[in-house]
Structure 1
């Protein structure tokens, strides 16, 4: 539709003009147009493309290609592939393999996403780039994930990325991106548009009824009256009520298609099923179908399709109406013709997909082709596509054994693609066919893993135990790993599990021990559950020493709480640093949000709250882009130490409520511990004592002694000396066998608060000396705060000022506002005037600017910094210029000194 005919779109056009102005000015913009079918989204995209200040690339989601990995992304990026050679080699290889242009190990989606981001930046290096994606609701899953990820990272590249998505629909699609709702036209504009297509004068009341029934939908106004007489129009298109506009438009297009000659209808179906718009390919298929070139005439005359350099339908509803109005037998004939003219070497997957839809019944040869396509999809990282190929391969397998094997493989691919809800139904189908004992055990294991993913409650642990028992005679390492998952699930259920951990541990103990990290962790945790903490220290210590996150990333989820349990700050720091670094470098999308959250927790205790905040924000962004939910431990710990009460409670309360409903007892302990930290930091000791009591009611792995520490402080400050002393003795049962500096220092702090008054000062000084100042600086600052408070109460004001001043400065520089205010109040009580610290230029840097500056000081180039932070080099350069301006410097050489 020409721009001048866009009636009633002043607001929308003004927003698009602002978007183009920003892009011309050097900034990137992202926008999602949402509206019902026919609302005018495509027309707005046409306007945008015609006004683009530089090159414009365009793609559209295609309903029949939603299961083909990277289909939409490849369509969008194809015109830009001339810039591929300018990308760093890992990104170039990831994109080439993902798009099927080269062979190699399956690339992770994050690395492909970074490659797309870099490709856009390179294409926009000379003039602004416009990227338009229509019908985003029909993008394949991999393209949607990557484009959402890229949209969140665009900043200073002069790129506009604009989507159009149908609404109502899946509102989670492209969630969190800037949106513009495209509604129907105002009544006056709707009436004027309608007048342009009416066959003659009609009653004004009928006209108003049409406007009302279409709700101002432009396509409905233009299309529905076509071919109808005034008499027919008088009855509102023959229907008694308005109904959904999209459904009525689809029916109208089907009616108009049905009036076309049979050969023309076949042409439309073939064009609809060939989503690339390849005109020569379409004509070759039509030749096989006996359709002459002249068959296009009636469809073009009716304004339903344009056949130029590419095939273009008037509207996506015409495409869908074409094949929806065709019976299954005729569709199979067209699919077969398209498969016959596709090159099996150049387009093996699309050809296999057409062959699959052409099959009227079981076909072993086609099933084999689909299985090979699934392998290729997996090699490109397309797990969702592989699952779709395998499902169809199973349906077409005449032999029950391959059918069962392929169904099980499809279930596994769905699980790995992050769609566990699809797994139970497929596993039930797989069990019908003959599976060998290993396959049956695999069914049970996958069913339990999916159940744990969907609900971390009690049922998952029991199902995993059943699967582990089946695996004992078939695959002992897999049995140990499954037992470890079962024990981890039971420990996660915690206080809500009614002894499940003990039952799992007893079953696991019967298995021969292993000397790999999973086997060592299983032995140590089994000992912890059955024999108690002291007996478990030695085997768990050996397990942590053997655990390298770069080689066993999948075990970090259980290794981190074990490090907490052993008071092993060195292992905790090593594992989280390895895990976050390795997951980021390799772009392991499924693991990265959790690993970043684990690392954030370690940084909070190290007093590096700003860095922790960066990682929490990145994990949240990745989680929203990929649909993966990160652990809440990092953000909870961060908010608790920052003293952000309202934000912390708003996050804690739904976590506690959902944890109880889902039988996830460990999350109850997590929320309780952090609530106690929050209240202790704010100096509200009775409230801290109340939640700490609830937290230690069950010995959760890695949390119980954390709760004891908070209880001791709260009880001592609330006047409950006996309760504090009892808790300090219970803590000694853990700190004594652990024997690390962290354990010994924490015990000294507990004894200072709850032990004999004659030894209080000695214990405080021991705690400050023993606690590792680099990895646990928050705890060192808390020890100084408590020591200073005690000294003030002993009327040793000068000494108290010294300790409190250090604590106040430490907490303030960390950003631990709650504890800083508490230290400030105590310092004021000693007679010292507390002045709030001024804000330096360095402190005015945003978390992202700080991280970029630190990486630049470390000698990283802009592309290397971009690869670490998933930013384009141009955005890194833009942020560095802002850093230089804030710090008053002009080059990287001056950065180290300015940040020191």
Structure 2
């Protein structure tokens, strides 16, 4: 069996087997050179030994060798010399060349002649002679698979032959399962142990064959296969349409294809019934609780556990009290070989023995129940809600789905299906599954049903799938008003509906959407959840956050170290997104991303990626920001989260605007307007204005920048429930000053002071101080100077450099030339380091206006980082971005970004000029000048993309 269904043309595509293939290369080379030897491949079932034999055969054929093959067969295991006949059949025409003694012995052994049965040593000698005669024309490679299934006579003879190949141009490569007995004598032969694939290789193999698969399903399959190539390729076959399969719909034990059953079930069938029953109980328990299994075995008379260990199917770790199966698919094979009645009895026994452990008791009781049972369904729902509160969102949704299946037809089943649809969409990323579950809920109870759950699921789907803000808002408000239980803080659905309503209000971007939310939160009893209160104020209207609420927000951030719930981590991160505290959330957000990659809450992982991407942009880690955003956007596309793409695309567009890729930035803004307008998604429109404002400022188009910044929040006011006004505050002030709108700038500064914007974060304090310095010619700038120099304020390099550019230009106009040069030079250096070329050019123009002809302190090679120098030299040598990326283990996008930064540093405008520029700077050495002779136009210097 070849992993890819081919023997010669595709075997070189084996994933993760480079060391084994290298060993086979060396082995085949020695055989071709006349040094006969044997090599054994040993490993677990399905690990890919046959594929490696195919590889060896292909290598031998390519080297001009002749290949003879045989495979052990269970059905021929009792036929003497059956495997030997299979192996030697292509060269039996050479038998007459042997001596009469050897030819006669071989003919009798292979059933081609009559006579007394020859001794096996004589047969082995005859085989060696035949191989030697055949190899006179071309070297031979014997390929033997499934050694344990060889018939006894063939196995003994081939074992003798394998140790007598020295000096012949004949090699033998054979495969056997580790630990399985057989008649082939392995002693003294070289052995290559074929291990399971690494996590990275397993992922590559699975995704190469099944590229359309949700991350959670992929994680589940990787865990089940545990690096076994056959399992990785076969398990998805039984799951149907992987593009729409969700983790919550997968069975506890994955079904096996016939090929997998053949591999993993052979030993199980040979075991006594009591041993199989004990293994079934252990498999269905699934926790590896050795004490439980030992207690069951003791109550049944003992001995079964020892027999199970002797079969090598399980291992008992006495020190850790753990029972582990040799491979997870052995568990699946055990379950599949049992009947449904046997499984129900086993679950019932486990439920009885685990009565003191509520979660495990409820699950086994549910699995033991065949008919709908409201008591069991209610018990399982309680466990699901408890798991959701402690952060196990995936388990909770699985349990809710099972509770719905066990609910009698009617309102109970309908409500639980709706809750599963809502919570599944909300926390696990199974957004595309929601419509199907909602339709099942409607069919289960054609009446009004559980209005809040249904409304929550539909609103969430409308918001994230279609972006229909107004309909989602109306659905939720109507449901909250129509349900008396909507005041209970202990009702998880009520709380989740309010969180969904909060995001509807945010994306709507209109002040009139928020009062019903605050009213619903205030009505919660005994008190609203702390995080819900914090989020509704800090994220909704941060400019008016009271000192008390700001302290409560900081306290929520401080609790993240112990937080296990992905949803609460994300909500805390969202709460502080406009308060410049995302850096304090990094570790917790990274945990959410890891959890999502491992099969956890995908929607939370998407939001964590975008929050960290936003943080990386503001803190000057732009390459990391792009990588995070790209991953998040890929997940959005895979799961149908259209709305969530926009925060990610916002950061990507701001990066493009800062780097001077105006076409890309403005294109994104245009897409945002087209999408947001018919949906009345106001915040997306604000995103578009922000992008255009930043792009215009970089190009020096201050009129355009002013109109876009003012569209987010009018001059002279920080509009209520317009949090994005905090991010464009500096844009509006700077653009107003440059366009002669001094009154508007002063009014906007006054609005910031009225809200005490400077107390929210050190960055906002810098922004407000800078606004004061440039709007009031009589203002005392000592505080601004101190804030700029204050340690730690360089954590926002782009913002700081922008402030220094604006302030430096103001100082130049006020004839404070020396101070202006210092700020402008610092701004220029920061902009070049970030790759913000248009901003660096603005700073350079301001510097030239102070009488300094060049901006930076070094040019040529001296101005490049080591990595930039290496990339520039490879590009000058003619390598494409893709080739450079492969050589330096970078992405092509990263190479392109580096080149975009290199061109202006070298004072060139095209890739073709790289070689001369590097040669000139190399000859001249490091020049201590103030900058390159000229700056390239950013529209012309963008590196080529190959």
Paired position in structure 1 for 2:474: 462
Which residue is 1:785 aligned to? 805
Corresponding residue for 1:411?
A: 421
Pairs within 5 Å for 1:253-268: none
Per chain length, whose mean CA-contact separation is higher, i.e. which structure has more relative contact order (CA < 8 Å, sep 6+)?
A: 1
State which drifts further: 467-476 or 823-832. 467-476
**Aligned partners of 1:488, 1:3: CA distance in 2, in Å?**
47
* DSSP 3-state at the match of 2:509: helix
8 Å Cα contact 1:745/1:770 also seen in 2: no
8 Å CA contact 2:658, 2:694 repeated in 1: yes
Q: 2:584 matched to 1:574?
A: yes
Following superposition, the deviation at residue 754 of structure 1 comes to 2.1
Shift in CA distance, 687/133, structure 1 to aligned 2, threshold 3 Å:
closer
Q: Does 1:712 align with 2:744?
A: no
Matched residue SS, 2:863? coil
Change (3 A) 1:677 1:22: farther
Pick the aligned partner of 1:838 from 863, 868, 892: 863
Q: Which residue of 2 aligns with 1:598?
A: 611
TM-score, normalized by length of structure 1?
Answer: 0.53
How much does 1:703 deviate?
0.8
In structure 1, how many angstroms separate the alpha carbons of the residues matched to 2:3 and 2:521? Answer: 70
Task: Find the partner of 1:643 among 651, 660, 670.
Answer: 660
- Residues 460 and 541 of structure 1: is their aligned pair in 2 closer, same or farther, counting only changes over 3 Å? farther
Which range moved further: 735-744 or 654-663?
735-744
Q: How far apart in 1 are the matches of 2:621 and 2:778?
A: 35
The 1:150/1:490 distance shift into structure 2, 3 A limit, reads farther
Contact 2:757 2:765 in 1 (8 A): yes
1:94-113 Cα deviation digits (max 9, x unpaired): xxxxxxxxxxxxxxxxxxxx
Which residue of 2 is the match for residue 453 of structure 1? Answer: 464
Is 1:726–2:747 an aligned residue pair?
A: yes
User: CA, structure 1 residues 466+579, in 2 after alignment: closer, same or farther (shift >3 Å)?
Assistant: farther
Tell me what 1:549 maps to.
560
Distance 1:533 1:720, change over 3 A: closer
Residue aligning to 2:498: 483
Match of 1:500 in 2: 513
Q: Please list, as runs of the form range in 1=range in 2, the aligned pairs for 1:177-326 lying within 5 A after superposition.
A: 276-277=261-262
1:153-193 CA-partner distances (Å, limit 9, x unpaired): x9xx9999989999xx989799xxxxxxxxxxxxxxxxxxx
Distance 2:456 2:759 in 1: 35
Aligned with residue 198 of structure 2, among 121, 129, 134 = 121
Residue number in structure 1 paired with 2:124: none
Structure 1 residues 611 and 660: alpha-carbon distance in aligned structure 2, compared to 1, 3 A threshold: same
Q: Distance in 2 between matches of 1:839 and 1:696?
A: 41
Taking the aligned partners of 2:628 and 2:724, their CA distance within structure 1 comes to 22
SS for the counterpart of 1:668 is helix
Question: Which ranges in structure 1 are unaligned for 5 or more consecutive residues?
Answer: 27-44, 56-117, 175-269, 285-334, 350-355, 847-874, 877-900
SS of structure 1 residue aligned to 2:560: coil
Cα distance, 1:807 vs. partner? 1.1
Equivalence map 1:66-85=2 (5 Å): none
Question: Could you say if the C-alpha distance between residues 622 and 444 of structure 1 is closer, same or farther in structure 2, counting changes exceeding 3 Å?
Answer: closer
Q: 1:758 aligns with which of 764, 771, 778?
A: 778
Residue 821 of structure 2: which of 786, 801, 807 is its match? 801
Which residue matches 2:835? 815
Question: Matches of residues 52-91 of structure 1 in structure 2 within 5 Å?
Answer: 52=55
Check the 8 A contact 1:764/1:787 in 2, yes or no. no
Tell me whether 1:691 sits opposite 2:708 in the alignment.
yes
Assess, with a 3 A threshold, how the Cα gap between structure 1 residues 597 and 385 changes in structure 2: closer, same or farther.
Answer: closer
Taking structure 2 as the reference length, the TM-score comes to 0.51
Change in Cα spacing, 1:442 to 1:620, as seen in structure 2 (3 Å) is closer
Which residue of structure 1 aligns with residue 724 of structure 2? 703
Question: Which segments of 5 or more consecutive residues in structure 2 lack a partner in the other structure?
Answer: 24-47, 59-194, 246-254, 271-335, 352-365, 872-888, 891-946
Cα distance in 2 for partners of 1:23, 1:646 equals 49
* Deviation of the 1:467 alpha carbon: 4.2
C-alpha offsets along residues 222-242 of structure 1, whole Å, 9 cap, x if unaligned? xxxxxxxxxxxxxxxxxxxxx
SS in 2 for 1:813: helix
In structure 2, the residue matched to 1:41 is none
State the alpha-carbon separation in 2 of the partners of residues 404 and 824 from structure 1: 66
* 1:779 to 1:364, Cα distance in 2 relative to 1, 3 A: closer
Q: Within 2, Cα distance between the matches of 1:608 and 1:4?
A: 41
Q: Distance in 1 between matches of 2:750 and 2:380?
A: 63
Q: Deviations for 1:604-634, whole angstroms, at most 9, x for unmatched residues?
A: 2223333433433444455567666563143
User: What is the distance in 2 between the residues matched to 1:363 and 1:589?
Assistant: 31
Shift of 1:710: 0.5
The 3 A distance-change label for structure 1 pair 681 and 771 is farther
Aligned-pair CA distance for 1:494: 0.9
Distance 1:340 1:485, change over 3 A: closer
2:527 aligns with 514
From the superposition, tell whether residues 443 and 719 of structure 1 become closer, same or farther in structure 2 (CA, over 3 Å).
same
Aligned-pair CA distance for 1:713: 0.7
CA distance in 2, matches of 1:384, 1:561: 22
Looking at structure 2, the residues matched to 21 and 653 of structure 1 have their Cα atoms a distance apart, in angstroms, of 48
Deviation digits for residues 648-696 of structure 1 (CA, Å, limit 9, x no counterpart): 2343332332233333211221232133123213322222223212222
In structure 1, C-alpha distance between the alignment counterparts of 2:753 and 2:445, rounded to whole Å: 56
For the residue of structure 1 that corresponds to 2:726, the secondary structure is helix
Q: What residue number does 1:612 align with?
A: 625
- Of 775-784 and 340-349, more deviation after overlay is shown by 340-349
How far has the Cα of 1:491 moved from its partner?
A: 2.4
Distance 1:658 1:150 in 2: 41
Shift of 1:364: 3.9
1:605–1:779 contact (8 Å) kept in structure 2: yes
Secondary structure, counterpart of 2:865 in structure 1? coil
Greater Rg by CA = 2
Q: Is the 8 A contact 1:149 1:625 kept in 2?
A: no
2:675 is equivalent to residue 662 of structure 1 = no
Aligned 8 A contact 1:467 1:482 in 2: no
Deviations 1:681-726 (A, max 9, x none): 3322222223212222565442113223211111212333333333
Counterpart of 1:105 in structure 2 is none
2 CA distance for matches of 1:560 and 1:382? Answer: 19
* Cα separation, partners in 2 of 1:609 and 1:549, compared to 1, 3 Å: same
Q: Deviations 1:780-834 (Å, cap 9, x if unpaired)?
A: 2222112222333345444433222111112222333332232233234433324
Cα-Cα RMSD = 6.1
